[in-house]
A and B are shown apart, each in its own frame.
Chain A
Amino acid sequence: MAIRRLGLPAFSRHGTATLRVSFVFSILFSLALSLLAGLAANQAQAAVEVRDFDSPVTAERYRSLTDGLRCPKCENQAIGDSDSPVAKDMRERVAALLREGRSDREIQDFMVARFGDYVLYNPRLEDRTLLLWGLPAALVLLGGVLVALIVRRRRRASARALSAEERARLDALVNRHSDASGDH
């Protein structure tokens, strides 16, 4: 179907089979490619520097902290995958603070105190960020209320029954019409 819509000549049974094979192949190929790209990305991150932590939990916290802190120098990179010198300093400090046994929140506070809210990829819910967090929800709510109002108004308009007087006028009009057509 799709083939005909594209304006290609219709395939024989055999032709469709080859097409299906090549389709499967291309999917496998792109899967392999993305797997390779993923491996390369992992290696790139490992190339930044290797850190040893006493537990896998700490290592995971290090990874998630450095992924969630934005590099102040390079606008759209986390410190976890930036080559900039300040990102390296920040990673070192994150690792040192983790080894001191500080909590994630303390480490984030430490960075915010020096580099500002800018370094948090996930802004906190505070007085100053209420608009940022609240506006999307408020707009969705507003849209919902508007839709509900419009639907209600339409439903009420269509469901309103005719008054006795209106009914009589309508009947008179219909009857006059049928009488007139009956005459001819």
Chain B
Amino acid sequence: MNTSVNIAGVTFKNPVMTASGTFGSGAEYSEFVDLNRLGAVVTKGVANVPWPGNPTPRVAEVYGGMLNAIGLQNPGIDLFIERDIPFLKHYDTKIIVNVCGKTTEDYCEVVERLADQPIDMMEINISCPNVKEGGIAFGQDPKAVEAITREVKKYAKQPVIMKLSPNVTDITTMAKAAEAGGADALSLINTLTGMKIDIHRQQFALANKTGGMSGPAVHPIAVRMVYQVAQAVDLPIIGMGGIMNAEDAIEMILAGATAVSVGTANFTNQTVTTEIVDGIEEYMSRYGVDDVCELIGAVHE
């Protein structure tokens, strides 16, 4: 049975990855999960300099999901290179570094710093809804998406994944723009902007007022968007959004994703990623699938 997938020339032992921001750089979860069993670890967004993030409360639970407004707190690229990459190099898994910034120059600086690092891919976060500058500002206008993709590609030595926002009228427009800018792959979806109000205190549940919604409630939206984007572009897709188990992951692959990222589910179950790896294999055995790639976009009318 083959469970490996290929994205932009990089081979992953299986299609299961961690969604950026939910898994740190893997150190905390390595106490529960054998990182060697994952297709890739996608690290928390890192910027050119350390970011303190937003005030607390930064998270709130909602029915079937959660809101977060962490605000991309990160230690900056220097410490990340010194500490986090060497940590992950102890494991037999691929490393995808999520990159964030306030300006195009910030993104390019990080991408340039990563050029000589032993990482496999970069995921460019142009879809964070929780920061005032950068983030989603680059991800809601197709011209901006194409321009930043093109700029980042000038400095990138590793393949570039553009991470798209669902907070747009038509995500295929953004996907096409990223493709036109030279993206090697796409990640979708980032979180959906939401809000929760504590009716007892009559206050916003999050200090940031709004936050990105994730969790099982957003999964059908993510499946729909992955399907639409798979129809619209020729790029490989890493599908994410509310994947809680192997069934959800397989659904995403059938919709057109080459790989999947598991995020919020890690908070519910620390070992969910490897359970999904096992579950995909069980599904393949059950349905006589020899190669997981046969499942990519295999949904039919």
Answer whether A and B are interacting partners: no
